[in-house]
């Protein structure tokens, strides 16, 4: 089965009304047999596969993030104009 995937988000400050560009924005296609292909501004593989095993990504939250989030386990970096392929298995 083929499916279309998209995620369009935009954050804003309630106090000032200023828009934030810190959310993922991507489109893609997914096939059960082959996997998923997405294009756009999205999280890198550290966020997908490594961060859930750290205190920052599991139950500790931002308090356990490393200095300036140099390993991106606190999701502070989004790869712009990126292409990501995830296998079905």
Break the chain down into helix, strand, coil percent, rounded to 5.
20, 40, 45
pLDDT of residue 84: 94
* Alpha carbon of residue 80 to chain centroid: 11
Task: Inform me whether the pLDDT recorded for 76 exceeds 70.
Answer: yes
Low-confidence winner among 21-25, 50-54, 59-63 (lowest mean pLDDT): 59-63
Instruction: Read off the pLDDT band of 57 (50, 70, 90).
Output: low
Distance CA(57)–CA(39), nearest Å, equals: 24
Give mean pLDDT, residues 3-21: 86
Write the DSSP assignment of 2-36 as a string of letters: EEEEEEE--EE-TTT--EE--S-EEEEEEETTTEE
Task: Inform me whether the pLDDT recorded for 43 exceeds 70.
Answer: yes
* Alpha carbon of residue 66 to chain centroid: 18
């Amino acid at each position: 089965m083929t499916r279309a995937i998209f995620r369009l988000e935009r954050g804003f400050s309630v106090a000032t009304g200023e828009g934030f560009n810190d959310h993922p924005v991507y489109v893609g296609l997914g096939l059960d047999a082959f996997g998923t292909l997405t294009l756009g501004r999205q999280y890198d593989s550290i966020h997908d596969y490594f961060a859930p095993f750290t205190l920052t990504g599991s139950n500790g939250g931002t308090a356990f993030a490393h200095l300036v989030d140099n390993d991106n386990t606190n999701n502070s970096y989004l790869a712009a104009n990126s292409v990501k392929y995830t296998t079905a298995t």
